[in-house]
Amino acid sequence: MRLRLLLILLLLSQVVDATKIKELTNVRGVRDNQLIGYGLVVGLNGVGDGSSSKFTQRAVASMLQSVNVRMDAKDIKSKNVAAVMVTASLPPFSRHGDKIDIEVSSMGDAKSIMGGTLLLTPLKSVDGEIYALAQGKIQKGYLAAGEKAPRETSAKVYEGALVEREVGFDIYNKNRIELSLKKQDFKTAVRVQNVINKTFGVKAAVALDPRTIQITRPSNLSMVEFLARVDEINLYGVKTERIVIDQKSGTVVAGVDIMIDPIIISQGDLTLKIEGTQSLPRGRNQQYVSDSATVNIKNNVVSMRKVTVANVARVLQKMGSKPADIIAIIQAMKKQGAIRAELEII
């Protein structure tokens, strides 16, 4: 009975530490493509661009001319229109008619673009070709009773554009392709090579450098079938963590056990000092955040021990730090190597 329990616990620990190859690598050449366009947001009820934004007046005149209304740009005085830049990422393998998210940002002196309507805007890539068409309502968020709408000059419109042109990538007819590790590491590259070769029983993979693993499909599989199987292979002993930050709201989503190595960071008037794992001396300024971390706050210097990303975010929020400051601190810790998890800002 004890032996069975020991084996079960061992298997569970391996599953917990297992990471699929698709979480560690990307297929080289399969990537997003950046799109950009210039457009107009209308229906802003007097909070659009003023008369000082000459490019807006000219854009309105050009738009009216396209619908057979001729007007001199100098005669346009409306403040219900705002000139905007529209950006988007075209995901790989997007097909004609797919919907993608867009980001709309004011270019002029508009007070807000919330509640307006984005007129038809072509989105182009660096080759000058139109890959998507954007249009739609820029919705206001939910407001509590008595709360005033924020005056925002940028907004994300979900599924705000339709794909008009596809980016071709013939993966089916390829016999050989390369996987790129998201983080370079000689040991991991060799381990990925070995586990693929062991799974298929042939020398299907070879590590070319600390980031690149070249794989050759077996004769009995198509490249699509081969990649589908390779993606699901588990690599044991490699644990990937991710921190996701919503830049707009300041929300930080992180695993409870993502630790931060010792580091000292100054941000404005605040100094964050993350130390070792020994206990801090008790004092009047000490606060207990959780069972796994203690905090000492004195003269705007925050000292912490046994710290996770979640604890740091919680402490900074309680101290009244702005979302932008929290993001800057976490980015700085990541850049200095104190955080080993992947950082994604949305």
How many domains is the chain built from? 3
Q: Given 117, 136, 163, which residue is the final one in a domain?
A: 163
Q: What is the mean pLDDT of residues 144-162?
A: 73
Which domain, by its residues, includes 205? 170-235
How confident is the model over 213-254, as pLDDT tens digits?
999 999 999 999 999 999 999 887 666 677 777 766 667 777
3-state secondary structure of 331: helix
> Are 149 and 79 members of one domain?
yes
Q: What is the mean pLDDT of residues 252-266?
A: 74
**% residues pLDDT > 90 (the chain):** 32
**Residue 267 to residues 23, 260, 312, 326, 332: CA-CA distances in angstroms?**
33, 17, 14, 9, 10
> Are 155 and 187 members of one domain?
no
Residue 109 has pLDDT above 90, yes or no: no
**What pLDDT score does 288 carry?**
38
- Separation of alpha carbons 293 and 296, rounded Å: 10
Q: Worst-scoring range by mean pLDDT, 207-211, 227-231, 245-249, 315-319?
A: 245-249
- Residue 92 inside a domain? The answer is yes
- Residue 19 inside a domain? The answer is no
Contact 23, 241 (CB under 8 A): no
**Residue 301 to residues 57, 131, 158, 277, 319: CA-CA distances in angstroms?**
51, 51, 41, 18, 11
Question: Residue 225 belongs to a domain with what CATH number?
Answer: 3.30.310
Residue 94 has pLDDT above 80, yes or no: yes
**What pLDDT score does 78 carry?**
76
For the whole prediction, is pTM greater than 0.75? no
Confidence of residue 134 (pLDDT cuts 50, 70, 90): very high
- Separation of alpha carbons 252 and 207, rounded Å: 35
- Separation of alpha carbons 265 and 274, rounded Å: 9
- Separation of alpha carbons 237 and 214, rounded Å: 22
- Residue 7 inside a domain? The answer is no
Residue 102 has pLDDT above 80, yes or no: yes
- Residue 287 inside a domain? The answer is yes
